[in-house]
Chains A and B, each alone.
Chain A
Amino acid sequence: AIRMTQSPSSFSASTGDRVTITCRASQGISSYLAWYQQKPGKAPKLLIYAASTLQSGVPSRFSGSGSGTDFTLTISCLQSEDFATYYCQQYYSYPPYTFGQGTKLEIK
């Protein structure tokens, strides 16, 4: 099974900051990578698929990049509603469709 490793596991930032979260796959997954946002007590929300394609309705301050094994999610100007936990997921090789362990973004 492909293992997905996110870094950092958690960190603090302030509104207005530019933040980057990294996801690394244990083997190449082309661009079959999605990013989700999850807030406490809520279902995950799809932000980005195919590594860099923004899901409809997602603000343009979110962007994704990468291919192969290394990927990033960038939030260009943090808003208060962006404080949440973020997960990457590979859908290249299955089963299983593996998720990263999550990155919790907290307010500084």
Chain B
Amino acid sequence: EVQLVESGGGLVKPGGSLRLSCAASGFTFSSYSMNWVRQAPGKGLEWVSSISSSSSYIYYADSVKGRFTISRDNAKNSLYLQMNSLRAEDTAVYYCARARTTTVTTGNSDYWGQGTLVTVSS
């Protein structure tokens, strides 16, 4: 069974940093690109970042470029999102999601974690 479990969320002050983790199991993690998607309270879904299976291709939304860094450790079946210079507008539930196909890096995701809440507030 595919499982994605996020951790690392919490309350942080504006300008602070946080590192999210996503532990994957039930599939060959190293074969799939992975995505981070967020959802602000009461709002819609926003794609944040994607990373290819071998980390060769990395993409970011303009809203986080230069502040967030996506990475992965295939030996540990883990995905990460390092978030720096956090702003109030980064407050959201952050979901880790698996790309639907192994053939290309894609934002189309078939399995999602339960999400972890990041709150940026003084």
Contact = CB atoms under 8 A, between A and B. Distances in A.
Contacts of A38: 45
Secondary structure type dominating chain B contacts: strand
A101 B100 CA distance: 22
Contacts of B47: 89, 95-99
Contacts of B61: 95-96
A23 B60 CA distance: 24
Interface string A32-47: 1010101000111110
A103 to B, nearest CB: 10
B95 A43 contact: yes
A89 B113 contact: no
B113 to A, nearest CB: 7
Secondary structure type dominating chain A contacts: loop
How large, as a class, is the contact surface on chain B? Answer: 20 to 34
Interface residues of A, number: 24
B107 A91 contact: yes
B108 A95 contact: no
A62 interface: no
8 contacts: A36-B45, A38-B45, A42-B114, A49-B110, A55-B110, A89-B47, A94-B59, A99-B47
Interface of B: 35, 37, 44-47, 50, 59-62, 95, 100, 106-110, 112-115
Interface of A: 1, 32, 34, 36, 38, 42-46, 49, 55, 87, 89, 91, 94-102
